[in-house]
Each structure stands twice: as structure tokens, then as C-alpha cells.
Amino acid sequence: MSESVKDKVIQIIAEQAVLEVSDVQMDSTLEDLGIDSLGLVESIFAIEETFDIQVPFNANDPSESDFDISSVASIVAAVEGLVAEQQT
């Protein structure tokens, strides 16, 4: 299950960045991948639609949101957490 969350999140990010899935590394930051603030909001929308979850994210202050976007790995971990929460 967690493997597939990771794969799907990476697919969403790769699509947003117009990159191959293989080019998205777990330690990449969104900035490394060339995703700007609008791209980020779009990615979060895609994540919410894909997993049917609510992502707590306010574009005004990404660092203050509960959703950690500092790297691909942190986004994957946050989404895994939200998906697990939703299943309990």
C-alpha cells in the first residue's frame, strides 16, 4: 500500500514538473524540480483528488502548514499519514 502511495505521489509530481518519473528523487525539493507556487497548489489538488483526502495546506505560509513540503520524501510521508488516518 505505502509503495503505491509513493508511486502515485511521484507520478503526480513528475507530471507537474514535466519530468520522467525516474528523474524525481526522494530527496529532491520542489524547487529542484522547477515547481513554483501555482504548481504546488495544483499538485496538492491532484493529490487530494487521487487519494480522496484533505491536505492541510495554506499557500500563505507553507512552512506553517501541517503538511511538510520540504522534499519529495516529506510529501510522500505526509500523504501516507493522511491516507492511513483516513482509513482508521
Partner 1 sequence: MKRVVITGQGTINALGHDVPSTLEAMREGRCGIADLDIRDVERLSIRIGGQVRGYSPEAHFNRQQIALYDRFTQFTLLAARQAVSQSGLEFCGDLAARSGVVLGTSGGGMNTLDENYRSVYEEGKNRVHPFVVPKLMNNAAASHVSMEFNLKGPSFTVATACASSNHAMGQAFAMIRSGLAPAMVTGGSESMLCFGGVKAWEGLRVMSKDGCRPFSANRNGMVQGEGAAVFVFEEYEHARARGAEVLAEVVGFAMSSDAADIVMPSKQGAARAIAGAIRDAGLNPPDVGYINAHGTGTAANDKTECAAVADVFGAHADRLMISSTKSMHGHLIGGTGAVELLACVMALRDGIIAPTINYDEPDPECTLDVVPNEAREAKVEVVLSNAFAFGGLNAVLALRKI
**Footprint on residues 9-48 left by partner 1 (CB under 8 A):** 37-38, 41, 44-45
What count of residues does the chain have? 88
Nearer to partner 1, 2 or 86 (CB): 86
Distance CA 55, CA 78 (A): 9
Whichever of 41 and 53 has its CB closer to partner 1, that residue is: 41
Q: Which is nearer to partner 1, 25 or 86 (CB)?
A: 86
In whole angstroms, how close is the CB of 40 to partner 1 at the nearest point? 9
**What is the DSSP track for 13-53?**
HHHHHT--GGG--TT--TTTTT--HHHHHHHHHHHHHHHT-
CA dihedral 71, 74, 75, 77 (to 10 degrees): 160
Per-residue binder mask for partner 1 (CB under 8 A), 58-77, x = binder: xxxx--x-------------
Binding site for partner 1 (CB under 8 A): 37-38, 41, 44-45, 54, 57-61, 64
